[in-house]
Amino acid sequence: MTSVLYDAPGPRAKRRNVLLSLLFLVLLLLGLWWAWTMMSDKGQLDWAKWEPWLADSESWTTYLLPGLANTLKAAGLAMVIALPLGALFGIARLSDHRWVRVPAAAVVEFFRAIPVLILMVFANQFYSASTDISVDSRPMYAVVTGLVLYNASVLAEIVRAGILSLPKGQTEAAKAIGLRKGQTMTSVLLPQSVTAMLPALVSQLVVIVKDTALGGAMLSFAELLSARKTAASYYASVIPSFIVVAVVYIVLNLILTSLASWLERRMRRSKKSTGAVVGPEALENLETIGPKTIRMDHGENAGGGAGGGGGGG
């Protein structure tokens, strides 16, 4: 892979690159060696600390898998509930009527400016004060509520970007055959924008999965991170448990990320769609705050690679 930033290396540059590679490798190995000696000094490399994770299924069946199941359950529920809400607000922001557009925009911008943890803590207290949800299931409700409030507002922007990404001819054609505004939206624009949005929705799932861990740390929601805590104290294995849990998160999110980019490639190729796609990286390019422009933030960090064409408003 040659880059435009440097020429194809000649003999001197090749030597320099090899030298730099070696230097960097030495530094990297020094760092790794330091970490390794740290680990062995503190006894974190003992087989006794690793055995429960690598050679014993009990740690998985008793602790990690139920935790992971809760993580996925909360993330899935939040997505399913937030999507229709988001669609509603996204469409409301595109309305021709100022009295619909402005409040919808205000609600969306408000919930996007607030940390998801604040929403979770609020929901937790609200459920304990004014509902009779049992103490056991309350954290789950609180986490899902917090995630829904925040992500519905992010999804509203994705939906809006999806609809705006469709070619203008779609609306014009719908008008030409005499469809009303509502019909145009429900039978022409929405179905197409859903396919255009799919990759961005899958990327948003990564953000939601990562945010569930907050509930584990702050509201004692029994998900993967708090399962790690219980297991780590049971097996007296701190560092290995962190490494194992981090690997589980990484694998899960990489699967989601690659699914998103596969979907995006498929959408761009497919004959049926108009070729309009709101890809994961569009989330990063949507511009800064303002009622007219679409802005995406990483929230707890939307995925996606380097910027391609975004669906600016």
**CA–CA distances in Å: residue 206 to residues 146, 155, 225, 250:** 16, 13, 16, 10
Size of interface with other proteins, in residues (CB under 8 A): 68
Among 33, 36, 126, 262, binds other proteins (CB under 8 A): 126
Q: Which is nearer to other proteins, 18 or 173 (CB)?
A: 18
Rounded CA gap, 95 and 91, in Å? Answer: 7
Rounded CA gap, 37 and 158, in Å? Answer: 47
Q: Which is nearer to other proteins, 118 or 173 (CB)?
A: 118
Q: How far is the CB of 259 from other proteins (least distance, A)?
A: 13
Q: Rule CB under 8 A: say whether 24 interacts with other proteins.
A: yes
Residue position matching structure tokens 């408000």: 110
**CA–CA distances in Å: residue 9 to residues 14, 19, 22:** 5, 13, 17
Are the CB atoms for 67 and 228 separated by under 8 Å?
A: yes
Among 64, 104, 214, 267, binds other proteins (CB under 8 A): 214
Q: Which is nearer to other proteins, 192 or 212 (CB)?
A: 212
Are the CB atoms for 140 and 120 separated by under 8 Å?
A: no
Among 238, 259, 274, 275, binds other proteins (CB under 8 A): 238
Q: Rule CB under 8 A: say whether 110 interacts with other proteins.
A: yes
DSSP 265-309: HHHHH-SSS-S----TTHHHHS--SSSSS-----TT-----S---
Among 15, 21, 33, 84, binds other proteins (CB under 8 A): 21
Q: Rule CB under 8 A: say whether 242 interacts with other proteins.
A: yes
Distance, first Cα to last Cα, the chain = 34
Residue range at the interface with other proteins (CB under 8 A); choices 78-86, 178-186, 206-214, 265-273: 206-214
How many degrees, rounded to 5, is the angle at CA 90 between CA 74 and CA 153? 40
**Contacts (CB under 8 A) with other proteins, residues 133-162:** none
Rounded CA gap, 71 and 143, in Å? Answer: 10
Give every CB contact of residue 262 below 8 A, 6+ residues apart in sequence: none
**Contacts (CB under 8 A) with other proteins, residues 76-105:** none
**Contacts (CB under 8 A) with other proteins, residues 244-303:** 245-246, 249-250, 253-254, 257, 281, 284-285, 287-290, 295-301, 303
By CB under 8 A, name the binding residues for other proteins: 3-7, 9, 13, 17, 20-21, 24-25, 28, 38, 42, 44, 110, 113-118, 121-122, 125-126, 129, 206, 209-214, 216-218, 225, 238-239, 242, 245-246, 249-250, 253-254, 257, 281, 284-285, 287-290, 295-301, 303-307
